[in-house]
């Protein structure tokens, strides 16, 4: 989450992350393993074609998003489900809290939903006196630690088994061991109880299929199956961008999503739910079913000629997986709620300029994310556009204004270069490096700004090799 007051404070936070050795090692290992796993998962497929299929399907859906919503609503309501449209995060949370109140729910189990993270649903439900338990293992861990996810698919990737051990020891009131298998089993039994007790189950959705009023859920743990089965009320919260016309569109996306996210051909469970299913704990033996769609700027985005393609995002998290900056600082610093390249963009639209203004400066425009994106979104281009918009609104920084003036004026630029030659003896160290640059514009970064002395190249190379 982004709570830094200014760029200086944000840089200090970045430094903390850079000094976290466990995080660095974990993310390094992950970055390497991910690339191999993904390549293997796609080896028998025409990948550009698959990405194009996703982009086309999502663009076509976005172009008639309101129509698809109406179709979904009509079909789902005819099957006895309730369909709600929330214009923003507060309204979505309010709708869900009201459902809980009306149906006399006291306890809630949740499966993973980035949309619920976006609206900070748990905060409101807890304020209303409900007991909310995340059931995805990673989400449960970060819920117990009162923090946000650091990856869209692996929310607790920043934590070690020892940290989880300490946490579970606290939660169970008994000493645990740092054995991952054992820790998973403890979660299995502790969370089992929560499913059994829960009145309401909240899930997200990966697909909302307009034609049949159905949702599709993609999980590995199978928790969404339990969350949508045991409690008597099921609320599925999703962005309007999850709407697709038919099952075939969903299957096209499903072909790419798990392969791009984790290198899996498919997740352990893909669940398709339509209407009010059998539920023995409900009064009439049928589940009380609610679909809550969140707008929060998506309808406007769908019409935007530049940013419309953002709605192609299928939340696979791949743009974080390959981002060199994410790899260095992790998700708490490379995102607000949504993480990675897409996170920088969504933060601006869903959470506002203040949360996004420091984040967007992270992008080094290497385009690794653009190459890997499941929907072929021009992520670096859009981040640059947002950065420019923020600067236009807030005013550009003085160095950047000055540099802009210099770069535009060829004569001035060359004049300054020539003049700088005379300043060289003052900042050079005699070993071929400029070590004493007056870093008045970036005081906190001076230590990394040692540039080779741009004089006779052969002499510099000779010097370096003789030192080696």
**Which of 76, 84, 126, 85 has the alpha carbon at shortest distance from 296?**
85
Q: Are 342 and 379 in contact (CB under 8 A)?
A: yes
By CB under 8 A, name the one of 8, 123, 185, 303 that touches another protein.
185
By CB under 8 A, name the one of 117, 118, 199, 221 that touches another protein.
221
Q: Which is nearer to another protein, 192 or 436 (CB)?
A: 192
193 contributes a contact to another protein by CB under 8 A: yes
By CB under 8 A, name the one of 2, 133, 214, 260 that touches another protein.
214
195 contributes a contact to another protein by CB under 8 A: yes
By CB under 8 A, name the one of 148, 222, 308, 452 that touches another protein.
222
Q: Cβ of residue 29: shortest distance to another protein, in angstroms?
A: 8
Q: Cβ of residue 315: shortest distance to another protein, in angstroms?
A: 16
- Opening angle at CA 276, ends 274 and 279, nearest 5: 120
- Opening angle at CA 29, ends 26 and 32, nearest 5: 145
Q: Which is nearer to another protein, 155 or 297 (CB)?
A: 155
Using alpha carbons, list the distances in angstroms from residue 156 to 139, 141, 142, 238. Answer: 7, 7, 6, 22
226 contributes a contact to another protein by CB under 8 A: yes
Q: Which of residues 80-109 bind another protein (CB under 8 A)?
A: 80
Q: Count residues contacting another protein (CB under 8 A)?
A: 79
Distance from chain centroid for Cα 445: 28
196 contributes a contact to another protein by CB under 8 A: yes
Q: Cβ of residue 92: shortest distance to another protein, in angstroms?
A: 24
248 contributes a contact to another protein by CB under 8 A: yes
By CB under 8 A, name the one of 85, 114, 124, 154 that touches another protein.
154
Distance CA 163, CA 165 (A): 5
**Which of 175, 292, 25 has the alpha carbon at shortest distance from 17?**
25
230 contributes a contact to another protein by CB under 8 A: yes
Q: Which of residues 23-42 bind another protein (CB under 8 A)?
A: 26, 29-30, 33
363 contributes a contact to another protein by CB under 8 A: no
Distance CA 426, CA 445 (A): 20
- How would you class 321 by CB atoms within 10 Å of its CB: exposed for 0-12, middle for 13-18, buried for 19 or more? buried
Distance CA 398, CA 310 (A): 31
**Which of 342, 350, 337 has the alpha carbon at shortest distance from 321?**
342
By CB under 8 A, name the one of 103, 176, 361, 460 that touches another protein.
176
Q: Which of residues 264-323 bind another protein (CB under 8 A)?
A: 265-281, 286
Q: Which of residues 128-147 bind another protein (CB under 8 A)?
A: 135-138, 141
Q: Cβ of residue 221: shortest distance to another protein, in angstroms?
A: 5
Q: Cβ of residue 180: shortest distance to another protein, in angstroms?
A: 5
Q: Cβ of residue 141: shortest distance to another protein, in angstroms?
A: 7
Q: Cβ of residue 49: shortest distance to another protein, in angstroms?
A: 14
254 contributes a contact to another protein by CB under 8 A: yes
By CB under 8 A, name the one of 65, 132, 187, 377 that touches another protein.
187
Q: Cβ of residue 309: shortest distance to another protein, in angstroms?
A: 25
Q: Which of residues 386-445 bind another protein (CB under 8 A)?
A: none
Q: Which is nearer to another protein, 265 or 423 (CB)?
A: 265
455 contributes a contact to another protein by CB under 8 A: no
């Amino acid at each position: 989450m982004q709570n830094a007051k200014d760029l200086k404070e944000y840089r200090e936070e970045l430094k903390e992350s850079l000094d976290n050795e466990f995080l660095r090692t974990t993310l390094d290992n992950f970055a390497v393993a991910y690339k191999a796993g993904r390549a293997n998962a796609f080896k028998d497929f025409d990948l550009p074609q698959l990405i194009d299929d996703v982009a086309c399907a999502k663009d076509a859906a976005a172009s008639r998003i309101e129509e698809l919503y109406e179709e979904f609503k009509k079909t789902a309501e005819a099957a006895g489900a309730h369909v709600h449209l929330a214009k923003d995060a507060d309204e979505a949370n309010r709708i869900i809290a009201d459902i809980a109140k009306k149906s006399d729910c006291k306890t809630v189990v949740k499966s993973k939903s980035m949309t619920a993270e976006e609206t900070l649903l748990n905060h409101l439900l807890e304020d209303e006196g409900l007991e909310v338990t995340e059931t995805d293992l990673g989400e449960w861990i970060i819920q117990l630690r009162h923090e946000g996810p650091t990856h869209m698919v692996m929310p607790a990737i920043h934590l070690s088994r020892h940290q989880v051990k300490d946490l579970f020891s606290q939660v169970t009131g008994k000493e645990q061991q740092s054995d991952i298998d054992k820790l998973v089993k403890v979660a299995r039994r502790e969370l089992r109880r929560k499913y059994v007790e829960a009145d309401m189950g909240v899930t997200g959705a990966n697909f909302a299929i307009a034609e049949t009023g159905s949702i599709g859920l993609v999980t590995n743990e199978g928790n969404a199956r339990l969350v949508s089965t045991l409690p008597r009320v099921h609320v599925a919260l999703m962005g309007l961008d999850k709407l697709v016309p038919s099952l075939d569109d969903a299957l096209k996306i499903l072909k790419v999503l798990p392969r791009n996210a984790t290198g899996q051909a498919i997740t352990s469970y893909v669940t398709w739910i339509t209407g009010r299913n059998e539920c023995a704990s409900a009064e009439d033996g049928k589940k009380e079913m609610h679909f809550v769609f969140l707008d929060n700027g998506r309808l406007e985005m769908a019409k935007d000629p530049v940013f419309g393609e953002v709605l192609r995002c299928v939340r696979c998290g791949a743009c974080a997986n390959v981002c060199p900056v994410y790899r260095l600082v992790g998700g708490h610093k490379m995102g607000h709620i949504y993480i990675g390249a897409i996170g920088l963009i969504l933060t601006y639209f869903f959470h506002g300029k203040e949360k996004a203004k420091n984040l967007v400066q992270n992008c080094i425009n290497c385009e690794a994310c653009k190459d890997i994106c499941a929907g072929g979104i021009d992520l670096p281009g859009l981040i640059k556009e947002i950065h420019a918009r923020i600067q236009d609104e807030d005013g550009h920084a003085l160095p950047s204004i000055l540099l802009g003036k210099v770069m535009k004026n060829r004569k001035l630029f060359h004049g300054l270069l020539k003049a700088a030659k005379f300043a060289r003896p003052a900042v050079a160290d005699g070993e071929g490096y400029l070590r004493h640059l007056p870093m008045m514009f970036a005081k906190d970064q001076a230590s990394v700004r040692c540039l080779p002395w741009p004089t006779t190249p052969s002499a510099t190379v000779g010097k370096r090799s003789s030192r080696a």
